[in-house]
Amino acid sequence: MAKPIKAIVEPTLLIWARESASISLEEAARSLNIPEARLTSWEAGVDRPTVKQLMRLAEVYKRPMSVFYLPEPPQNFQALRDFRRLPFDQPRQLSRQLAFEVRAAQERRLIALEVFEALGEQPALFPLEAQLSDNPAEVAARMRDFLGVTISRQQSWRSPDIAYREWREAIEGIGALVFALSGPHHRVSLDEARGFAFADRPLPVIVINGNDRHNGRIFTMMHELGHIVLGQSILENTAEVGDWMPPEDRAIEAFGNKFAASLLMPEALLRADPIVLAYRSGIDWDEESIEALAGRFSVSREALLFRLAGFGLVRQAFARERAAAYAAQYREQDELRTAAGPVRIPYQRQVLSHLGRGFSRLVLQGYHAQQITLSRASEYLGLQAKFVAPLERDVFARGR
């Protein structure tokens, strides 16, 4: 019987592929149904996997086979700074799903750059840079000008989902990509990650967790936008700033929060609002007023209250109490939604929610310009070729 053909693969590639997939030696060996010692011998260069075993490795690590024949691990991605901490905790290891989503977002950015090159075009240059020493409110005002979103336009949006879509497209319009972890194949717990950002230019990337409510997604999106402005590639599961954080991390997160709040709720406009003027400092607000003002700015009730508390317009303790009550409401609503079962959404709309109009339009443009094939376009979009036309209708439809 002929001996199985051994794969000519560098051990460093095997280690890199496993670790970048956030899989331990034990987990990988179990998935491959081999002794852990055998996998260790492959990674040490003592032995090599067969071609068939390498194919199985590629499947487990969610990598194309071709990557294992590179001379060394790729070094073309900016490392993420991991802010996924709780008090007194160390940064957490990425789950397999989150590790995959991080890698997929990086690869989609490279795809976008390749499509631009094939079209003979250049992506828009992201227009703003700032330093941590800059005033975040002033930086936010400049960013609003670049985004082209006036206060009257913002306050004309009738619902949080419309506001989310409009803000997302405005950010895509200034030379960034915005993806969402949404749909059954891209689920990551909010406890693990609310969002992350790659500040590489051109085409910085923002990824937000679609499990959050639309108002929460909006704040996360703006918070991550603040990180891009600072040139910081960040992964985080909370935008809260605690004394337990190292001073530099605390300063970065504080900037992101103030930037996002200032962009969404400019101080002068907020202070001049009739609802705000109707309340004397220190008087606790009724729920109707909170909901009305939060709706006017398309922000969550807790984001509004913490913004008001920062100006001394409501008590900090009141803001914290209400935020805890809202969190309990959200949990109850989530439980009811789970009990009701999943809502059926056409597959191409799930894809559009995940990829955004910016990336989807670019791939479709490349296809129609005959720079990429239908097969390659469907691969880039992650759906079967028969769904490309329905996706295109949704990409260019308005009012959705």
d(CA 147, CA 218): 14
d(CA 170, CA 187): 25
Structure token digits, residue 133: 């020493």
Q: What is the pLDDT of residue 293?
A: 94
Structure confidence by residue, pLDDT tens digits, 89-140: 555 678 888 888 998 898 899 999 999 999 999 999 999 999 999 999 999 9
d(CA 283, CA 316): 12
Q: What is the pLDDT of residue 223?
A: 95
Q: What is the pLDDT of residue 302?
A: 92
For the chain, which residues make up each domain, given as ranges? 11-75, 79-264, 277-343, 346-396
Name the stretches of the chain with pLDDT < 70: 1-2, 75-79, 84-92, 184, 239-245, 341-343, 398-400
Q: What is the pLDDT of residue 368?
A: 92
Task: Enter the CATH code of domain 11-75.
Answer: 1.10.260.40
d(CA 181, CA 399): 22
Q: What is the pLDDT of residue 239?
A: 60
Q: What is the pLDDT of residue 397?
A: 78
Could you tell me what percent of the chain has a pLDDT over 90?
Answer: 55
Q: What is the pLDDT of residue 338?
A: 74
Residue 26 near residue 87, CB atoms below 8 Å? no
Label residue 289 left, alpha or beta by phi (over 0 means left) and psi (-120 to 50 means alpha).
alpha
Cis peptide before 160 (omega within 30 of 0): no
* Strands 234-236, 195-198: pairing kind: antiparallel
d(CA 224, CA 230): 10
- The residues, any chain, with a CB within 8 Å of residue 240's CB and separated by 6 or more, are 253
Residue 281 near residue 287, CB atoms below 8 Å? no
Q: What is the pLDDT of residue 94?
A: 82
Q: What is the pLDDT of residue 119?
A: 95
Q: What is the pLDDT of residue 58?
A: 87
